[in-house]
Amino acid sequence: MTRLPAHYETVRDRNDYEAVEGAVGPVDPADRRRFVAVDDPGVLGRALDRPTLVSTGVGMTGPPHLGTVGQIVTAITLQEAGLDVQFVIADLEPYHGGAPLDRVRALAERYREFVRESGFDSDRGRLRTQSEARDVMHTAQLLAPYFDPDSWDDGDDPPATEWERAVGDAYDAAEDGPTIDRSGPSSEAAKQHSAVLHGVDFLHPLYAGEYEQLVLAFGVDERHLTPWARRFRDAAPVEGSIAGLYTRMLPGFDGAPKMAKSIPGSGVSLDMSSERIRERIGGDDGGDPAASPVFQAMCLASGYDADRLDRLEAACESGGEGWDAAKAEYADFLVGLAERWRATGE
């Protein structure tokens, strides 16, 4: 068993999560491959009877990469299933960490345009930055007295899985990887304010009485956000249920355990040239689909349905001309996204 499937199984066992089989509430069964775990399997089924918001978003440390594309496609998929979806562009998070404000604002507007142009309906859902949501900031001030700075860690960390150890080793070996510009001012107060606001990005719709259920949809490596949000909710005058719906991770290229901006050469970014994207995608020779960066990206960061992914999985396992054709088609899709991203900066 390869590292990531074993990691998913261990995470489900340790947290009593359910595997996602078939439909997730109103979500079409064709989209089952993008999800690997849910900590409340009935939550989306109850969305028909109880006001429910799915909340997701992106950190904003640079151009979108395939994991970012996966988050955007997942949000669109959930919206098309009839769910209310909030997509937050976390612009204040890097600003509080020292990123220059003018750069943050310009990048946030590019992200907004890219998410909308990719198919997210901002009239039906919530597509917003942190800095424009004054009502959420107001709630953050009211809930700040209930925030425990130590609540991030519940003090019960289990041993790292093989995959988590490999990711940690890769980060340690990538000391000279790309970093975000943090030449602006920052402070401990700014970082604490950022943490409070991060939690209230989730809790505000419950606090305001707009929804009874909140579903946090993130990659499974960010599963800690769900119990953290629950602890904040329990300490504050906030009512409503919080569940987590988790997507797969992407193994990196050249043997990297994870696609990550801070692991050089591990992924595909939309600021790459068309030639570099085609070269990176074309370099995956196939074999084990669970270890293939390209096939796993097809499962998360594409609009392929279940039948198509079944055929692509077989092509990946077999390799050869069929897999070469599939990679070329997927590279065309990514090149189109890169052109769309570049157009946001023109």
Q: What φ, ψ does residue 176 adopt, rounded to 5°?
A: -100, 20
Q: Which residues contact 294 (CB under 8 A, 6 or more apart)?
A: 281, 284, 316, 327, 330
Q: What φ, ψ does residue 2 adopt, rounded to 5°?
A: -75, 170
**pLDDT digits over 2-38, tens only?**
689 999 999 999 999 988 875 567 777 777 789 999 9
What's the pLDDT score for residue 46?
A: 82
Asked if residue 274 and residue 242 are part of one domain, the reply reads no
Q: Note whether residue 255 is domain-resident.
A: no
Overall number of domains in the chain: 2
Asked if residue 8 and residue 95 are part of one domain, the reply reads yes
Asked if residue 285 and residue 235 are part of one domain, the reply reads no
**pLDDT digits over 87-132, tens only?**
999 999 999 999 999 999 999 999 999 999 999 999 999 999 999 9
- Bridge partners, residue 90, by sequence: 59
Q: Note whether residue 214 is domain-resident.
A: yes
> Is pLDDT above 70 for 186?
yes
> What's the CA gap between 151 and 285, in Å, rounded?
44
Asked if residue 317 and residue 183 are part of one domain, the reply reads no
DSSP state for residue 155 in the 8-state scheme: S
Q: Which residues contact 325 (CB under 8 A, 6 or more apart)?
A: 315
Asked if residue 220 and residue 156 are part of one domain, the reply reads yes
Average pLDDT over residues 174-187: 74
Q: Note whether residue 195 is domain-resident.
A: yes
**pLDDT digits over 231-275, tens only?**
999 999 999 999 999 999 999 999 999 998 889 889 999 999 999
What's the pLDDT score for residue 181?
A: 80
Q: Note whether residue 256 is domain-resident.
A: no
Last residue of a domain, one of 215, 247, 279: 247
Domain extent, residue 148, equals 3-247
Average pLDDT over residues 277-288: 96
Asked if residue 187 and residue 278 are part of one domain, the reply reads no
